[in-house]
Structures are given as C-alpha cells and as structure tokens.
Chain A
Amino acid sequence: MTTLRIDVPYMARVEGEGALNIVVEDDEIKHLELNIFEPPRFFEAFLQGRHFMEAPDITARICGICPVAYQMSSSHALDKILGIQITPEIRALRRLLYCAEWIESHALHIYLLHAPDFLGYESAISMVADPALRPAVEMGLRMKKIGNDLLAIIGGREVHPLSPTVGGFYRAPTQGELSALKSELEWGLEASIKTVAWTATLDFPDFEPDYELVSLRHPDEYPMNEGRIVSNKGLDIPMEEFETHFINDHVAHSNAVQVYHRDGGSYNTGPLARLNLNLDRLTPLAKQALAETGHQFPSNNPFKSIVARAVEVVLAYEEALDIIETYVRPEPSRIEAKPRAGWGCHITEAPRGMLYHRYELDENGLILSCRIDAPTAQNLKRMEDDLWAFVPQVLQLPHDEATLRCEQLVRNYDPCISCATHFLKLNIITDS
C-alpha cells in the first residue's frame, strides 16, 4: 500500500491560523480537513448587552479589509427592527460606499495576492521585480488607492469608516468632495477594463465542480445591499429564511464556524456566484468587458473568480461615477428612531460573498442576541469539497507545483482566514 500524506501545519494569514491535512492511500483520499485553529473571537457574545448603535462600529472591527460590509449588514438589520425607512439619497450613498470597498478589496486581491499564483511568482514583491509586470502592479495599487480615497471621503477614514451608522450616516459628503475624485475614478474605470482583459489571459486549470452558487439577486441592479437569496439549484428565498436553509456549526477540527445547507451540502458564495447569477444585472461597460474576454459565463471554474472580481471592479467604478454624477446630499444624513424590541436580519454582498447579520433587541435597544455568518465561514466547507475533488489532479505534480495549486485553489475564495501570500506550507511524505 502506498500512503501519501500532505501535512500543511501552518497557513500564514493575518487574523487567524489554519492547517491542511490530507492522507491519500493508493490514490484514494482517506482524510482531508481544513483545520482553522485561530482562537475564537466571541463577537456575538460580547455584543450582548450593548446598545444597538454600537453594533455597526463593533462588528466593523471583525475585518480590516471589508468593514463596510459589516456596517451595512448590521445597519440594514437594525433599520428593519426599528422601522427605519431610509431615503433614496441615503440608499445611493450606501451603495457608493460599497462600491469603494469592492474596488479596494478586489484590486488588492487581484494584483497582489492572486495574480502571483497564476504567473508563478512567490509574492507580489517578486512579481514587481519583473519589469514586464511592474506596470500592472502599479496600476493595481493605484486602483486600490482610489477605492480607499473614496472610502475616506464618505466614511472619514479609509479603514473602519466612522460615518456609516444605523439609519444612514453621521455626516454625508458634499457633492464637491465627491466630485474631486471624479477624474481618478474615470482613470480607474479604464484601468479596470484593462484588468478584465489581463485576467482573461491567465492560465486556468481545468476544474469545474458541480457547485451550488448562492448570492443575492435584486430586481433591477447588481446585488450589494438588497435582494433575495438565489442559487443556480433553484433556491429563491427572502433573507429572513436564511436560517431555515443554512445552519452554522462547529466542526471538531476547526475553530472557525462552518455554514452549510441543512442537508449538509456546501455552497459557494462570492464574486463567482454573484456574477454567474447576475449576468443580466451587469452595468454596460462591465458586461462589455466580460464579453470581450471570450470566456463563457456562467462558469463553475473557481480559478476564474479572478475574472469575476475584475468584472465587479469595472461595475463598481462605473456605478460610483454614475452615483456621484446624480448625487444629492442626504438631508438629513440619517433617520433616527427610538429603541424598540424586535428581531431583524439582513444580508449584504461583501467582497467575499454574502454576509448575514441577525439581531434581537430589548425595549431599551440593548442587544439580546445576534448571529453573524461571514462569507469565509460559508465557503469553508466548499473549500474542503474543492480540495477533495482537486487533490487527485495534483498528486502527480512536482512538490512545488502541487503546493502552488493547493494554495491557489483556496485563494480563489479570497478567504479572510488565509489572506497571506504564502498560504500553505505543504509537506508531502511518501511511505511505501
């Protein structure tokens, strides 16, 4: 019997640690687990007893790259409990804020974290050393900076914005403040279209699992802050039914929560799912940029998530310019409401996928309970399923290439648990 053991003892990342363990006997996988040993962070627990107005700012601290997602999901859920009806102007500003976050998050992942996988570099730093690739990285950095600048104009600072809150914004930017960024946004739109074309030239492994792709879908627009939950397997439910279809659970080998279907099945959420399920909601230039790649979508190839991300950056730049063009400063900038007891939930589309928040308040507006399901928690089981299907394809490859492919497969999801450039350290031990 031949035993092949893949032990990945440490997955370098910023806010957590994980490992990958695989045992293969006679070309059959006997054991595979993505073990997240990051200590639990207990956000849901220490939110209990806090006033509802603290929730957007506290939950934003869960993530340093997508704090807007946490602010938007929590604010919308709390708006519902309090009976707040936001104005069209506040709605537009929230969407603009989300555009900024998609731009900065996606641009960073495409150029600095994901592209080196495809191009055979160990990191973005070594990629930059190649004179042929340096302009692309510089372009990506400038694209990201524009997203951060837009975040700062709307939110007061580029990470963990201060302004967004329940019912709207503590302060809304002026038309002049937003218009000052217009020329940079126009440059970014052009750069993002080039980015789509560039990502389309990358080499994509032949791998198309039979995914259930899940995302929001809105009647009129590409989903960010609103919509119903839909899937390519026929799911079509309101957000309020999320917990009746999806459970979150602790698995023995991981400190991270895994979210999956009640029947035990995994699903894929994020840019690939969003794009596949909302092709007819793309903005004109995003649609054109995708069409010109020659790649067929819908596509279940997770490696093509880099193309999906690039298309979403075009959309975000395009929408940002449109929103700024017609921007009317919200007056008032936020709708206030008195505390009241109730229950409410909401999902928004974070850069990495659906982000679910649910709160229960008492009559004084104090949080009795809450549940937060991050996109990465929803994708973890799917990542393991991907590895089950993909590992047999790489076992015969040289060690370095097998390592790269496993890293790349996980990075397709842009997981918050595993953002580091060197995601996996792969040890293959063969006993005959």
Chain B
Amino acid sequence: MLDAFSMHTMTPHTLILGIGNEWARDDGVGPEVVRRVQQSWLARGSNATREVGFVVMARPDLSLLDLMAETDYLVIVDAVVSGAEPGTLHWQLWKMGVAASRGVERASSHGFGVEELLQMARALGKLPERVELWGIEIACTAPGRGLTPAVARAADALVSKLEAHAMGSCGG
C-alpha cells in the first residue's frame, strides 16, 4: 500500500500522508495534494530545512505504524464529507475521536480507518508528538480521475500551505 517511490527518507521527522482513491474523483484529493507538495519539495529540496517524508495510500494501513514511530510530526490530508460547501478546508489537531467515521467501525482484516489507526499508534506508544488533520470537503466520488472545480481550487490552496510547511515554515 505504501507508495514506495514517493518515500524520501526512511526516518522522516515529518510525514505528510495523503489518503484516498485517485480513481474515485474527489476522493483522490489527498494523494493529489501530497504528490504536488512532494514535487515542489523535490524541486527546491536543497533549501529544505527539515526531513520530510511523503506517502500516499488508498486507505490507511497498519504499515504506517512503524513510520509513525519514526515521525515527530504527522500531517494527514483526506477527503471529508460533513455537509459543508464542496471545497471547504477543514483543519484540526488530532485528539481521540475527532476522526471517527460515522456508523461502521473501520477495523478489520481489510484495513483500519484513520481514527482506529491513530488510536492504535497511541496505544502502542508510536503516535507522533503532533498530528495535524487536513480535510477537503468533496462533491463527487464517481469512478474516474480528476477533481471537481471547487475541490481543485481548495487543493491549490492547501498545496501552498503545505509547501510552506514542508520547506520548514510551519503551516496550520
């Protein structure tokens, strides 16, 4: 599940994680944002002031636990459906329960949800000191590639924020 080629270092101090299915339109906004931030970081890497790792995943995976143990600062970018206007940016620091999915508890042989994975990391003493959640309100999860206009504009804005973060001037 780890997108191995996108990993920059095996021991990142900061990990920027994009979650979503890039073949389900707006659900892929997390990976889209993280890939663009990574490209920018690569282009200007010589000026980077901190080690940054980039990972994109269709869904959270237990393999993240080991990466989290080596991370001080975790930034998660994911699609959100809360009823807000499509393109709305959500931000908050993680604490128990804030990323809980509605209805089904996502802990099974097929995967853990974001909340369950973070709780597991916390229970195992692997939770980074700071976990920042960025959500983008989405409009469409139909099969196929490409973001809807409002979500694409929000992605542009978030890329700028996270570029600044990746370059060492903390975002958020």
Contact = CB atoms under 8 A, between A and B. Distances in A.
Interface stretch (B36-44, B62-70, B80-88, B133-141): B62-70
B131 to A, nearest CB: 16
Given A158-B1, A158-B63, A159-B1, A113 B124 contact: no
Contacts of B110: 14-15, 63-65, 416, 419
Interface residues of A, number: 34
A422 interface: yes
Contact of A134 (B103, B109, B124): B124
B124 A128 contact: yes
Interface in B109-143: 109-111, 116, 119-120, 123-124
Contacts of A144: 62
B113 to A, nearest CB: 10
A136 interface: no
Contacts of B123: 125, 128-129, 134
B98 to A, nearest CB: 16
A5 interface: no
B109 A125 contact: no
B108 A421 contact: yes
B105 interface: yes
Interface in A130-177: 134, 137-138, 141, 144-145, 148, 157-159
Contacts of A422: 105
Contacts of B65: 141
A416 B110 CA distance: 8
A128 B4 CA distance: 29
A8 B104 CA distance: 14
A414 B107 contact: no
Nearest to A149: B63
B106 interface: yes
Given A124-B120, A128-B124, A108 B1 contact: no
B87 to A, nearest CB: 29
Interface in A380-415: 414
Contact of A125 (B61, B66, B120): B120
A141 B108 contact: no
A112 B62 CA distance: 11
A13 interface: yes
Interface in A11-62: 12-15
Interface string B1-14: 11010000000000
Contacts of B62: 108, 141, 144-145
Interface string A203-232: 000000000000000000000000000000
A427 interface: no
Interface of B: 1-2, 4, 61-63, 65-66, 103-111, 116, 119-120, 123-124
Contact of A419 (B1, B61, B109, B124): B109
B1 A113 contact: no
A418 to B, nearest CB: 8
16 contacts: A10-B104, A14-B110, A14-B111, A105-B109, A109-B109, A113-B108, A113-B109, A124-B107, A128-B123, A141-B62, A145-B66, A148-B63, A157-B4, A158-B63, A159-B61, A419-B109
Contacts of A109: 109
A125 B116 contact: yes
Contact of A421 (B1, B61, B103, B105): B105
A114 to B, nearest CB: 10
Given A109-B109, A157-B1, 13 more contacts: A10-B103, A13-B104, A64-B110, A65-B109, A65-B110, A112-B107, A123-B105, A137-B124, A138-B124, A145-B62, A158-B2, A419-B109, A422-B105
Contacts of A105: 109
Contacts of B107: 112, 123-125, 420-421
Given A148-B63, A157-B1, A64 B111 contact: yes
